[in-house]
Amino acid sequence: MHPTGNLVADTICRTAELGLTITGAADAGTLTIIDAAPVAVADSCPDCAMPGAKRDHVRRRLVDLPVVGFPTRLHVRVPRFTCTNPTCSRKIFQTSLPCADDGATLTRRVTRWILQRLAIDRMSVAATAKALGVGWELVNKVAVTATRNLVYADPSHLAGVRILGVDEHVWKHTRRPGEPSSMVTVLVDLTPLVDGAGPARLIDMRPGRSAEVLRTWLRERDPQFRAGVQVVTMDGFAGYATAVDHDLPAARKVMDPFHVVHLAAEKLTGCRQRLQRETTGRRGRKDDPLYKHRRALLTRTNFLTDRQKQRLDLLWDTDDDYVALQVTWAFYQDLIGAYGHPDRSRGKKLMTRVIHTLHKGLPEGLEELAQLGRTLWRRRADILAYFDLGASNGPVEAINGRLEHLRGIALGFRNLNHYILRSLVHSGQLQDRINAL
């Protein structure tokens, strides 16, 4: 190849950063084959460091980045040497390439490229493998191995975690009896988001949903990490609260507002359904007043249209059988109003009033509201902590939503270990570490 053409080709393919120079190229249909040679050749024996005598050459085949949309193969002419030290156990050795590990089939920058496509471009493993012209298994193996090293082999991965979010996540939807648990416990670092330094990041996932799962994970962390966690946000699951009480006694628990409101909404819906059965003897139909207004009942008062407000007022005024529903709805709206108050200290007072009112006792016929009151009273410290700290599990729910998107990209997962590592690539905010590979 002409020297000028060699320079242009090296520039286009960026082989200089590989420590290679292009000596030829060929079009192999679906592949682009590039012949190359090392720019610098090390002739020292890797065992005894003595210089070797040149023996012959071998051709090493490597997968490299696509060129102009076509998969690329590097055919590198690597010299081999005979060790000149008669006492050395190694007789023959070949030059190691700076661009790839010995025995590897991919250049190192392909590993970085694979992770960038998965983490930044949100590509599937199948699409990434097709772009490289290799098999799905190879790309997936490279991705999960590199992610495992980036996360679990990096001592700084858990550094600075002060606000920890915990939630459950369904990683595989199945109705087959005997299938292993489809639930995992998701652990998210909320510190960057609260500090304004960046988005929340997924830091780990563990199979199962129980107090023991979270306790085991916390016990595996060093004392410095556990001492640094000041706040733990969670849903209403008592198991997570128990684990935090045992292993992070100094941390403050925050029961997320979304789950508190969702719990109240469940009780409101339960009351509506009970009254529907008591008044009609059947489930709701489209023309039944309670069924027609089911969405309006769950809407915050400020967001109701004038027509919806009129319909609800008419519902309360026309039938005394719905008094229990009206009372439950009023408490539901008060609870939302406490969270929505612009002054958190005032919101905390409103929430305290709701909790204490429900705890004092309610007349008969308000079974669902009484159940809600018992739960709120039992978790009152965790609920009120939100107004002091402002931390919530909302970003954790957002990450759960992104993981649902990941499952759609991959058309589902069957291997939980692969799912966890792919989730860390997808939502672990590893971009800077990936780009530094």
DSSP 288-357: SHHHHTHHHHTS-GGG--HHHHHHHHHHHHH-GGGHHHHHHHHHHHHHHHHHH-SSHHHHHHHHHHHHHH
How many whole angstroms separate alpha carbon 211 and alpha carbon 247?
A: 11
How many whole angstroms separate alpha carbon 164 and alpha carbon 145?
A: 26
Q: Is the pLDDT of residue 308 over 60?
A: yes
**pLDDT the model gives residue 427:** 92
DSSP secondary structure letter of residue 51: B
> β-pairing, 201-207 with 183-189?
antiparallel
Decide if 332 contacts 265 (C-beta within 8 A).
Answer: yes
Q: Which residue type does 101 have?
A: D
pLDDT category of residue 179 using cuts at 50, 70 and 90: low
DSSP secondary structure letter of residue 217: H
pLDDT in tens, 189-220: 999 998 888 999 999 999 999 999 999 999 99
pLDDT in tens, 328-339: 999 999 999 999
Chain centroid offset of residue 244 CA: 21
**Average pLDDT of 365-393?**
93
**pLDDT the model gives residue 151:** 92
User: pLDDT averaged over the chain?
Assistant: 90
**pLDDT the model gives residue 60:** 93
Kindly report the number of other CB atoms within 10 A of residue 411's CB atom.
8
> What's the Cα-to-Cα distance from 127 to each of 141, 158, 160, rounded to whole Å?
15, 31, 36
R_g of the chain computed on alpha carbons: 31
Angle among Cα 202, 110, 74 to the nearest 5 degrees reads 170
**pLDDT the model gives residue 172:** 85
**pLDDT the model gives residue 102:** 86
Structure token digits, residue 98: 């700076």
Structure token digits, residue 255: 């029961």
3-state secondary structure at position 185? strand
In sequence order, which residues have a C-beta less than 8 Å from that of residue 155 and are 6 or more positions away?
A: none
How many whole angstroms separate alpha carbon 373 and alpha carbon 384?
A: 14
How many whole angstroms separate alpha carbon 272 and alpha carbon 324?
A: 9
**pLDDT the model gives residue 175:** 66
Q: Is the pLDDT of residue 2 over 50?
A: no
**pLDDT the model gives residue 180:** 56
pLDDT category of residue 377 using cuts at 50, 70 and 90: very high
Q: Is the pLDDT of residue 3 over 70?
A: no
Fold annotation for 163-254+392-435: Nucleotidyltransferase; domain 5 (3.30.420)
Top pLDDT among 317 and 234 is at: 234
**Average pLDDT of 286-303?**
92
Q: Which residue type does 414 have?
A: R
